């Protein structure tokens, strides 16, 4: 039997927004990785939900590092891809 392998590949060039889902109020906040952080906002990731005010999981502050790395890789972003697990599908 012949198997086709289907794999999702995402270029970092296609990757711009990261979303945070608030488990308390079910809202979603989209953050722009290419956006500039102006003024007093020293960090990319807010510490609390802007809708209900609950604190986000502290692990989400690691998105600040993702934003820094994204900006540092911007000159080479067309050379970088991410991929997931390959899915096996029977050929038709």
SS3 content of the chain, % helix, strand, coil (to 5): 25, 30, 45
Instruction: Report if residue 10 touches Zn ion, rule: CB under 5 A.
Output: no
- Compute the distance between CA of residue 42 and CA of residue 68 in angstroms, rounded to an integer: 12
List the interface residues with Zn ion, window 53-92 (CB under 5 A): none
Neighbours of 63 (CB within 10 A): 19
For residue 49, state whether it binds Zn ion (rule: CB under 5 A).
yes
Among the residue ranges 11-19, 47-55, 64-72, 83-91, the one whose residues contact Zn ion (CB under 5 A): 47-55
Q: Can residue 21 be called a binding residue for Zn ion (CB under 5 A)?
A: no
When asked if residue 41 is in the footprint of Zn ion (CB under 5 A), the reply is no
- Return the residue of 4, 37, 48, 52 that touches Zn ion, per CB under 5 A: 52
CB of 58 to Zn ion, least distance (A): 16
Rg (CA), the chain: 18
Q: Does 29 engage in binding with Zn ion (CB under 5 A)?
A: no
Note whether 71 and 31 are within 8 A (CB): no
């Amino acid at each position: 039997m012949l198997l086709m392998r289907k794999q999702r590949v995402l270029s970092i060039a296609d990757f711009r927004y990261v979303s945070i889902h608030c488990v308390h109020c079910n809202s979603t906040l989209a953050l722009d990785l290419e956006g500039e952080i102006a003024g007093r906002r020293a960090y990319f990731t807010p510490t609390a939900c802007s809708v209900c005010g609950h604190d986000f999981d502290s692990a989400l502050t690691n998105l600040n590092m993702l934003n820094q790395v994204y900006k540092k890789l911007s000159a080479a972003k067309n050379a970088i891809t991410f991929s997931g697990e390959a899915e096996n599908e029977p050929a038709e």
